[in-house]
Amino acid sequence: MPLEDYWQIALQEAEQAVQKIPTAPQPEKYQGVNFLFPFICRPSPLQQAVEKIEINDVEGPKLFILEDLTGSGKTEAALILANRLISAGEAQGIFYGLPTMATANAMYSRLIDVVPKLYERGEVPSLILAHSRNKLMNTFTSSVFTDQFAKSDECNGEIDNHAGCSAWFTDSKKKSLLADIGVGTVDQILMSVLQFRHNNLRLLGLRNKVVIVDELHAYDAYMAKVLEELIKVLAFLGSHIILLSATLSIQQRAGYIKAFKSAFPKDTKYGSNQLTPHYPWLTYISSNTEKSLPIASARSLRFEISWLYELSQCIRFIHETVRAGKCIVWIRNTIDDALSAYRELIHDPEINAEDVLLFHSRFAFVDRQRIENQALESLGKRSCAEQRSGKIIISTQVIEQSLDIDADEMISDLAPIDLLIQRSGRLHRHIRDREGRVVSTGADTRSSPILHIFAPRWNENPCEDWYSSTFRGASYVYPNHGKLWLSQKILRENSVVKLPEQARELIESVYGCDVQYPEGLRESEEKELGKYFGDRAFAAQNLIRFGAGYRAGENVGMDDPTDLVASDDNYFSGHVSTRNSERSINLWLARIDDGEIVSYAGGVSPQDWEASRLTVREGWLKNNINHEDFVSDELLEQWCQKYKQRKQTSQILLISDSCVFYSPKEGLIGKSNK
C-alpha cells in the first residue's frame, strides 16, 4: 500500500481509538502525609525529607534515590513524592515496578486506598495490575469497569473516587502502561527499551508518569544495564524516576546516576560528590541540580550472628525452638536443599509434620497461593501466640520479598551479604511481647534476635571447593564464591550487626571496588567478573538503538510479548529477554476426568488453567520429568490452539493421585528426589 494511502487510513483509525480512551482524571492538591496515609501518626525522617524537598526549582525530569532499611517506610515516601509531582502538574500518573508478581500483587493491594486521593473528588482513575497472571487476582478483576461506567451518572462528582480499571486498558497487554496508575513487574517497563515490538506504546505510557522502581538489589548485571538505559530514555522524555533500595552499593548508585545524567548536555555542571558512606541517604538530581541528604534513621535493627556448620546442628536448633514454643524460618539456597530439610523434619518424631511448611517457586499458582496464606496465618502480622507456636517454614529465596512474616528464630544458608540483610528483615519484623502477641507501642520484649547462618567452616585461605564441598547445588546459584567468603568474613568480624550504622560498611566490604579476594577463590572471581561484563554487553546488544531512528536493519522488532513464555514475567523472544536466564517452559498441570483433559485447579476456563501453571527451566524439565508423563504432541497442539498458547514453550503434565513427581505439599520434584 502506498504510504500516502496508509497514512489517511491510519489517521481515521487513530481518531476512532482516541474516542475510546478514558478521560484523564484531574489531580488533587497535595494535602499532606496524614491525608494520603491516615495510619501514619508521625512521618519517618525520610518521609519528612521528601515532603519538604524543593521539587519545583527546575523544569524537566528528576531522579530520586531513596536508601533506607527494610520496613522504614520507603514505599510511602516514594508515593508522597509522586503525589507532590502529580499535584504540581509535572506528571499525570504512576507506574510502580517490582521484581516479582507476588510483590506486585501486594503493592496493588496497598495502592487501592491511596490512588483515589491523588485525584479530585468524583474522578475515576484507572489502576491496573500489569503482569501475566493479573486475572488470577480477584481484587483486580472485580475492579474492572466498562467505559460506560466512567461516563454514567454514578460518577457525577458526588461520590468518593473509585480506584478501578477501565476495561479499555485490560483488553491488550500492550496498552496496560497507558492506564493512569500501574503496578506490575519491572519486566513491563524494561520491554520499552529492548527490541520488542510495540515498545513505543509502552514508552508513550511512561512518558508523563512518575516511574518508581523498588527492590533494586534484586536486579542482576543484565537487568541493571537495561534499567540504566530505561532511566536515560525516561529522562530524555521528561519523566520522573524514583529508585528504592535497602542494600544499594555505592557503585550501583553511581551507575544509575550516570545513566540519568547522560540524557543532558555533557557540559552540565553538578556540585556534590555522590560517593558518600552515609546511610540512610536521599539523592535528588535534575537537569542542573544535585542534592545529597543524609537522613536520620526511623528504626534501628540489632541482631547477633551465630554460625552453624553441620546439618545436624540446624536440626538440633529447630528442636530447641519448637520445644520453647517459638516459630522458625529456614531459608535455603536451592529447592533440592529445602526439600531435603523438609522431608527430614516431617519424619522427625520430635516434630509435628503438620506444623512444617515448604515454600518454593515450583508450585502451581493455586498451591502457592494456599501456602502463602498458610504462612501469613502462622507468622503474619495478625498471627497470635497459639498460631505461631512450633511452626516451621522451610523456604527458598522466594520468601525474601514477597511475604510480610515475622519469625522468632531464623536460619539462613550462607548467601551474599545484601541478601542476608534482606533475609534478616523477616526476623522480629513486627513488635511483639514475650508471648508472641503484636503490640502497638513500646519495644519488642522477645529475647534478642539472632541470625543463625549455616555455612562452611571458616578458612582464612580457602581452596577452590571451599563453598561447593558443603553446598554443591547452591554453588551454581551463587557462583561468585569470593563474595560469599567476604560476606562470612565481615560477619565474623561483627558478631553483632547494628543497622543502619553498619549498613554501608557491610555492603561495601563485599561489593566495594577495592575488596581483596583470597588466592584460592581468585579464579571464581575472575570468571564472575567476566560474566558480569558479558551480561552487560549482551544487554547492550539487545537494547534498541534510539539514536539510529526508524531505519531498516538498525533495530529488529521481536515478537509480541503477549504470545511469549513468561517466567514470573521473564519475557523473551528469540535471543532478546528481560532477564538473562535459561529459557523457561510454561508447565500446565492437568488431570484426565472422564476421558477429558481438565486443569489441575479443577476447571477448563483460562483462569483455571492459569492457576494450574508454573514455570521451570527447559533443561531441568528435560532431565527430571519423563516424556511419557506429558500429553501427546497432537493433544498439546489442539490445546494450544484452543487457549492461544505457543506449543514451542508449553507442556502439559498429567497429574494423578499416584504420581510421584508433584504434590500439593512438595511441589514439582525431580527424578533424584522421588
d(CA 668, CA 591): 15
Judgement on whether residues 605 and 479 belong to the same structural domain of the protein: no
pLDDT of amino acid 664: 94
Judgement on whether residues 615 and 480 belong to the same structural domain of the protein: no
Number of domains in the chain: 2
Asked whether residue 266 carries a pLDDT value surpassing 90, the answer given is no
Instruction: Write out the E strands in 233-334.
Output: 240-245, 281-285, 290-294, 301-308, 328-331
Question: How many residues belong to the chain?
Answer: 674
pLDDT of amino acid 157: 40
d(CA 307, CA 411): 9
β-pair partners for 32: none
Judgement on whether residues 341 and 488 belong to the same structural domain of the protein: yes
Residue 300 DSSP symbol: -
Asked whether residue 280 carries a pLDDT value surpassing 90, the answer given is yes
d(CA 32, CA 51): 8
Strands 584-593 and 596-599: antiparallel
Cβ(405)–Cβ(372) below 8 Å: no
Assess if residue 534 is contained within a domain: no
Q: Which helix (H) or strand (E) holds 259?
A: helix 250-261
Strands 496-499 and 281-285: unpaired
d(CA 647, CA 583): 14
d(CA 531, CA 538): 10
Cβ(246)–Cβ(276) below 8 Å: no
Q: What is the mean pLDDT of residues 269-275?
A: 53
At 580-639, the pLDDT tens digits run 888 889 999 999 888 788 999 998 998 899 999 999 999 999 999 988 899 999 999 999
Radius of gyration of the chain (CA): 25
d(CA 270, CA 290): 6
Cβ(486)–Cβ(509) below 8 Å: yes
Assess if residue 409 is contained within a domain: yes
pLDDT of amino acid 570: 56
Helix crossing, 199-206 with 221-237: angle to 10°? Answer: 60
Judgement on whether residues 477 and 619 belong to the same structural domain of the protein: no
Cβ(392)–Cβ(409) below 8 Å: no
Q: What is the mean pLDDT of residues 350-356?
A: 96
pLDDT of amino acid 147: 57
Assess if residue 408 is contained within a domain: yes
d(CA 421, CA 249): 13
Contact partners, residue 358, CB within 8 Å, separation at least 6: 338, 339, 342, 371, 394, 395, 665, 666, 667
List of long-range contacts for 624-627, beta carbons under 8 Å, 24+ apart: 624/661, 624/669, 624/670, 624/671, 624/672, 625/653, 625/661, 625/670, 625/671, 626/671
Percent of the chain having pLDDT more than 70?
Answer: 92
d(CA 331, CA 414): 9
Of residues 353, 351, 359, the one with CA closest to residue 320: 351
* CA distances to 172, 235, 522, 592 from 208, in Å: 20, 11, 47, 50
Output the nine-digit C-alpha cell for 606: 483460562
At 53-78, the pLDDT tens digits run 998 878 899 999 999 998 889 999 99
How far apart, in Å, do the first and last CA atoms of the chain sit? 60
Judgement on whether residues 323 and 453 belong to the same structural domain of the protein: yes
pLDDT of amino acid 275: 53
Q: What is the mean pLDDT of residues 357-380?
A: 94
Query: Residue 638 belongs to what domain range?
Result: 582-673
Of residues 348, 350, 368, 366, the one with CA closest to residue 358: 368
Cβ(651)–Cβ(587) below 8 Å: yes
Cβ(95)–Cβ(78) below 8 Å: no
CB atoms within 10 A of CB 541: 10
At 322-344, the pLDDT tens digits run 999 999 999 999 999 999 999 99
pTM above 0.95, yes or no: no
| 330 vs 558: which has the higher pLDDT | 330
CB atoms within 10 A of CB 208: 17
Cβ(142)–Cβ(126) below 8 Å: no
Residue 299 DSSP symbol: -
Contact partners, residue 553, CB within 8 Å, separation at least 6: none
Contact partners, residue 380, CB within 8 Å, separation at least 6: 403, 404, 405, 406
Q: What is the 3-state secondary structure (H, E, C) of 214-245?
A: CCHHHCCHHHHHHHHHHHHHHHHHCCEEEEEE
Domain end marker among 471, 499, 527: 499
Asked whether residue 48 carries a pLDDT value surpassing 50, the answer given is yes
Domain end marker among 447, 468, 499: 499
Cβ(22)–Cβ(124) below 8 Å: yes
Asked whether residue 105 carries a pLDDT value surpassing 70, the answer given is yes
Judgement on whether residues 624 and 476 belong to the same structural domain of the protein: no
Q: Which residues of 503-531 are buried (b: 16+ CB within 10 A; e: fewer)?
A: bbebbbbbbeeeeebbebbeebbeebeeb
Asked whether residue 161 carries a pLDDT value surpassing 50, the answer given is yes
d(CA 201, CA 195): 13
d(CA 407, CA 389): 11
d(CA 72, CA 581): 32
Asked whether residue 143 carries a pLDDT value surpassing 90, the answer given is no
d(CA 228, CA 190): 10
Lowest mean pLDDT among 20-24, 126-130, 419-423, 512-516: 20-24
At 210-254, the pLDDT tens digits run 999 999 888 999 999 999 999 999 999 999 999 999 999 999 999
pLDDT of amino acid 151: 42
Assign 564 a pLDDT band (cuts: 50, 70, 90).
very low
Percent of the chain having pLDDT more than 90?
Answer: 65
Assess if residue 669 is contained within a domain: yes
Assess if residue 548 is contained within a domain: no
For the chain, what is the largest distance between any 2 Cα atoms, rounded to a whole number of angstroms? 80
Instruction: Give me the chain's average pLDDT, please.
Output: 88
Assess if residue 69 is contained within a domain: no
pLDDT of amino acid 560: 37
Q: What is the mean pLDDT of residues 379-383?
A: 91
pLDDT of amino acid 402: 67
Assess if residue 462 is contained within a domain: yes
Contact partners, residue 81, CB within 8 Å, separation at least 6: 50, 55, 64, 210, 242
Cβ(438)–Cβ(431) below 8 Å: yes
pLDDT of amino acid 288: 83
d(CA 166, CA 144): 6
Domain end marker among 477, 499, 521: 499
pLDDT of amino acid 165: 85
Lowest mean pLDDT among 4-18, 83-97, 423-437, 573-587: 573-587
pLDDT of amino acid 270: 57
CATH of the domain at 417: 3.40.50.300
Assign 20 a pLDDT band (cuts: 50, 70, 90).
confident
Asked whether residue 12 carries a pLDDT value surpassing 90, the answer given is yes
Assess if residue 587 is contained within a domain: yes
Q: Is 308 helix (H, G, I), strand (E, B) or coil?
A: strand
Residue linked to cell 502525609: 33
pLDDT of amino acid 156: 39
